[in-house]
Amino acid sequence: MSDDRNFYENNYHFDDDIVAPGEERLWHAIKMLEPLDGTSFLDLGSGVGWAARLAGERGHAKSVVGLDFAFRALKLGEDSIPGVLRVQGDGTRLPFQDNCFDRALSFGSIEHFPDVVQGLRELGRVLSPEGRAVVVVPNFYVRTEQPRELRLSYYGWRSRFTEAGLRIVATSADRGPAILRDRRPARIVFRAGAKMLSFVPGMQYQFAFLLEHDHQA
């Protein structure tokens, strides 16, 4: 098992994610994909699978699939969050046919892939020609405990999407987790600072990009 995967299987806080899903942050991003009614929906790097569940329950997507490489996330999700088809796999080599999803979301995951552009290309490959995806990724100053994370500005992300043959349709902001999500003082200070910074243009905690195929590319 790779060191990256080992970290998620053994150290990542999936147990907390089961009880504190950050539902409104997820829904804010999913809503950018409306209409979802009757669509097939992929949650790429799904963790325990809350976003996929919301897309089915609140968005009325017809089929919802969550893909993650961590068995522990899938298992915890399977036990507590029903209604999602869970698939174990690597986000840079998706085990799906071309064009098989109408909608896709990747929330805080693609920046942790070993090859981000390849992950975006795979996302594009499985998205139907008229399909749309939302990719939520952090601003350059965000730091987490995860072993690998690509840190880019808005313009850095934009060039990665272009490289992967995707076009930005709209951009929104994710202002980050609740300040008191956990009680570690350093994290509280960081999150409070990030919340304030998020009101400065270009300094949002995370960007939520609505993407489609760039048919001109």
Name the site residues for ligand SAM (rule: CB under 6 A).
Answer: 4, 8, 17, 45-47, 68-70, 73, 90-92, 107-109, 112-113
Q: Tell me which residue has its CB nearest to ligand SAM.
A: 47
CB of 70 or CB of 123, closer to ligand SAM: 70
Least CB distance to ligand SAM at residue 13 (A): 9
Residue 185, preceding peptide bond in cis (omega within 30° of 0): no
CB of 183 to ligand SAM, least distance (A): 20
CB half-sphere exposure, 112, CA atoms < 13 A? 26
> Closest separation between CB of residue 79 and ligand SAM, Å?
16
SS3 52: helix
Compare residues 56 and 108 and give the one whose CB is closer to ligand SAM: 108
SS3 sequence of 102-133: EEEEEECCHHHCCCHHHHHHHHHHHEEEEEEE
Nearer to ligand SAM, 17 or 102 (CB): 17
Q: How far is the CB of 149 from ligand SAM (least distance, A)?
A: 9
> Helix or strand or coil: residue 206?
strand
Q: How many CB atoms neighbour CB 154 within 10 A? A: 17
Closer Cβ to ligand SAM, 102 or 111, answer by number: 111
Q: What are phi and psi of 115, to 5 degrees?
A: -135, 100
Min CB(186)–ligand SAM separation in Å = 18
C-beta of 36 vs 137, nearer to ligand SAM: 137
Q: What is the DSSP letter of 217?
A: -
